């Protein structure tokens, strides 16, 4: 059957407000029938001005502000910030505090990956898996609550150490929870790799080979599913990862199935790692003295968040507040790959492919103004506000015709 | 290749207890470290106001009526508090404690979210108007 020459492509816009999206983002998919021909991604709908806000808060206050960039990986944001500020202040954190930082980070990884498993299963229509994985996620949330007192924003970090110790009774509670989680993770690993209906939604869908993954700069578990052998915990060890290296997890197929398998296997390595840390917790104080003013200078810190590499740039001018903090979350590196991955796929697979990178839109939005003529340009609040009004005013007018 | 890989889970769930916890009756058990409503103990307080400076949510405020006589009034806004526990960390004299059994703080009105700690006459003085003796400003 020949296609009419004047056949037009149809564009399916999704977002920024859409029932399928949990957070605001805009995607436009050009489709020919059911098959996606090209795609574009637009972000920036949930910019919260956090970087600017850090400049008017003290070093201590910023710890809690930055922890709230993400509700899922809050601990790792605080860790990245603490590592950077401690580097600037030339403060050595006691070894027990470093081990506890890694311990909470790995617990957080399990909780994040289980949450992702549920969301991804829900997008594929496998709501039974969604419900059971979220039920089991409560186990790790309860462990975190026992350890730190909170389920979401644990606030385990302070500048110069950690707030909470692990005693024998808590270690026993953690081990008991981990045994249950290990059994369930192995079960889910079997489910995602053997359930024939589920495999139809994941095997050979959204395939990204190693070269393509490196070209689009994909990081974290998404990259490791395409055999991109990058993990900050190994490449640039921090906290307890220098003394106790973690076993990395790689897959080679690069499809959605590999992204499931990598994350579930990472949970198993995290479980083993936490057990090992509990066996080898060094004895030392939890905190060290931290100056209220931080020496002038610049520092970067990189950590492996559940979604990939998290990057912090911190600049101090010697005062009690930072001069500049810049945050780059892993979603920014991964989101561009979606536009490539969906090409040639069915429109029905698009939500799964998008969820496959584990996007976190609101953590990701930053503003950069690039001055091309090399002139320094300062924007005050009034100018920024007027820019927003003009920008969105123009867009609304366009949309309304 | 299998079908119905979660069937056994679903079947077993029919005969097991609900995964959700009942609330508010009975009230779920608290963990030891749970950070609920903050309580201030004036005995050790020296009025250094480090807790006020470090609070990321501007939820606490100290009024120093007389530093030598240790006359302080602490104002605590539960509505602003994020229960991060930094005040407990900053205080060298353990004046702040988070009550782990007092966390069910939602209310239908905004009244009652601001608490004053201190002697009654001092609180009355603070509420009456601006305190002249060097109040700590946040």
Q: Determine, for residues A196 and B2 on separate chains, whether the beta-carbon distance falls below 8 Å.
A: yes
Q: Which helix (H) or strand (E) holds A157?
A: strand A157-158
The count of domains in chain A is 1
Best of B21, B28, B49, B56 to mutate (most A CBs within 10 Å, chain A): B56
- Mind listing the pLDDT tens digit for each residue in A126-158? 999 999 999 999 999 999 999 999 999 999 999
Q: Which helix (H) or strand (E) holds A211?
A: helix A210-215
Residue numbers of the domain that contains A287: 50-364
Q: Determine, for residues A158 and B89 on separate chains, whether the beta-carbon distance falls below 8 Å.
A: yes
Place A328 in a pLDDT band, splitting at 50, 70 and 90: very high
- Mind listing the pLDDT tens digit for each residue in A234-278? 999 999 999 999 999 999 999 999 999 999 999 999 999 999 999
Q: Determine, for residues B56 and A149 on separate chains, whether the beta-carbon distance falls below 8 Å.
A: no
What is the arithmetic mean of pLDDT over B5-27?
88
Q: Determine, for residues B89 and A146 on separate chains, whether the beta-carbon distance falls below 8 Å.
A: no
Query: Is residue B135 over pLDDT 90?
Result: no
| Nearest residue in B to A139, CA atom | B19
Ramachandran class of A124: left when φ > 0, alpha when ψ lies in -120 to 50, beta otherwise: alpha
- Mind listing the pLDDT tens digit for each residue in B100-129? 888 888 889 888 899 999 888 888 888 887
- Mind listing the pLDDT tens digit for each residue in B50-88? 999 999 999 999 998 888 888 899 999 999 999 999 999
Best of B60, B84, B97 to mutate (most A CBs within 10 Å, chain A): B84
Distances (CA, A) of A314 to A50, A55, A294, B125: 14, 11, 11, 44
Distance from CA of B125 to the nearest CA of A (A): 30
Query: Is residue A1 over pLDDT 50?
Result: no
What is the arithmetic mean of pLDDT over A179-198?
95
Query: Is residue B8 over pLDDT 50?
Result: yes
Q: Is residue A197 part of a domain?
A: yes
Residues of chain B neighbouring A146 (CB-CB closer than 8 A) = 31-33
Q: Is residue A125 part of a domain?
A: yes
Residue A108 near residue A148 (C-beta atoms within 8 A): no
Average pLDDT score over chain A: 91
Ordered by start, the domain boundaries in chain B are: 31-128
Q: Which residues pair with B72 in a beta bridge?
A: B64
Q: Is residue A88 part of a domain?
A: yes
Q: Is the reported ipTM for this assembly greater than 0.85?
A: yes
Q: Is residue A236 part of a domain?
A: yes
DSSP string across A163-202: S----HHHHHHHHHHHHHHHHHHHHHHHHHHHBHHHHHHH
pLDDT number for residue A373: 75
What is the arithmetic mean of pLDDT over B84-103?
92
Enter the tokens of residue B111. Answer: 């009244």
Identify the architecture of domain B31-128 in CATH: 2-Layer Sandwich (3.30)
Q: Determine, for residues A150 and B83 on separate chains, whether the beta-carbon distance falls below 8 Å.
A: yes
Q: Which of A129, A164, A197 sits opposite B33 (nearest CB)?
A: A164
Query: Is residue B137 over pLDDT 80?
Result: no
Distance from CA of A193 to the nearest CA of B (A): 8
Task: Tell me whether the omega of the peptide bond preceding residue A91 falls within 30 degrees of 0, making it cis.
Answer: no
Strand, helix or coil at A136? helix
- Mind listing the pLDDT tens digit for each residue in A341-366? 999 999 999 999 999 999 988 888 88
Strands B60-66 and A35-42: unpaired
Q: How far apart are CA A83 and CA A236, in angstroms?
A: 13
């Amino acid at each position: 059957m020949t296609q009419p020459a004047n056949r037009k492509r149809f564009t399916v816009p999704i977002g920024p407000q859409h029932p399928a999206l949990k957070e605001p983002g805009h995607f436009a998919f050009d489709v020919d029938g059911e098959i996606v021909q090209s795609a574009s991604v637009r972000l920036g709908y949930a910019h919260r001005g956090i970087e600017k806000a850090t400049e008017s808060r003290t070093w201590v206050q910023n710890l809690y502000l930055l922890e709230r960039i993400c509700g899922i990986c809050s601990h790792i944001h605080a860790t990245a910030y603490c590592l950077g500020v401690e580097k600037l202040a030339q403060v050595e954190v006691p070894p027990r505090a470093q081990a506890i930082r890694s311990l909470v980070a790995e617990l957080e990884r399990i909780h994040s990956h289980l949450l992702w498993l549920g969301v991804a299963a829900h997008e594929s229509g496998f709501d039974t898996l969604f419900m059971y994985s979220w039920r089991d996620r409560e186990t790790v949330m309860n462990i975190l609550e026992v350890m730190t007192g909170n389920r979401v924003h644990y606030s385990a970090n302070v500048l110069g150490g950690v707030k909470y110790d692990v005693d024998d009774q808590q270690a026993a509670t953690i081990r008991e929870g981990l045994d249950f989680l290990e059994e369930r993770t192995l079960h889910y690993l079997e489910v995602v790799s053997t359930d024939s209906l589920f495999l139809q939604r994941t095997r050979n869908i959204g395939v990204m080979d190693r070269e393509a993954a490196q070209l689009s700069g994909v990081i974290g578990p998404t990259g490791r599913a395409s055999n991109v052998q990058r993990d900050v915990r190994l490449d640039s060890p921090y906290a307890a990862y220098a003394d106790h290296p973690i076993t990395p997890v790689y897959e080679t197929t690069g499809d959605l199935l590999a992204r499931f398998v990598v994350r579930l296997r990472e949970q198993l390595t995290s479980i083993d790692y936490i057990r090992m840390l509990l066996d080898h917790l060094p004895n030392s104080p939890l905190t060290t003295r931290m100056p209220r003013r931080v020496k002038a200078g610049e520092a970067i810190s990189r950590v492996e968040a559940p979604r990939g590499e998290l990057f912090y740039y911190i600049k101090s001018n010697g005062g009690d507040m930072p001069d500049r903090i810049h945050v780059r979350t892993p979603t920014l590196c991964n989101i561009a790959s979606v536009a490539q991955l969906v090409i040639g796929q069915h429109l029905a697979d698009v939500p799964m492919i998008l969820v496959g990178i584990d996007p976190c839109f609101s953590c990701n939005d930053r503003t950069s103004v690039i001055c091309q003529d090399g002139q320094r340009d300062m924007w005050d609040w009034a100018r920024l506000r007027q820019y927003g009004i003009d920008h969105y005013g123009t867009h609304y007018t366009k949309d309304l015709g | 290749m299998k079908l119905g890989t979660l069937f056994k889970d679903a079947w077993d769930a029919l005969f097991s207890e609900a995964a959700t916890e009942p609330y508010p009756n009975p009230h779920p058990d608290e963990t030891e470290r749970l950070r609920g409503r903050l309580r201030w103990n004036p005995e050790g307080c020296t009025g250094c106001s480090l807790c006020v400076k470090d609070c990321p949510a501007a939820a606490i405020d100290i009024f120093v009526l007389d530093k030598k006589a240790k006359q302080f009034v602490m104002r605590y806004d539960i509505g602003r508090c994020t229960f991060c526990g930094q005040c407990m960390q900053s205080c060298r004299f353990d004046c702040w404690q988070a009550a782990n059994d007092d966390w069910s703080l939602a209310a239908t009105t905004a009244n009652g979210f601001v608490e004053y700690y201190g002697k009654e006459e001092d609180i009355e003085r603070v509420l009456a108007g601006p305190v002249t003796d060097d109040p700590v400003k946040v």
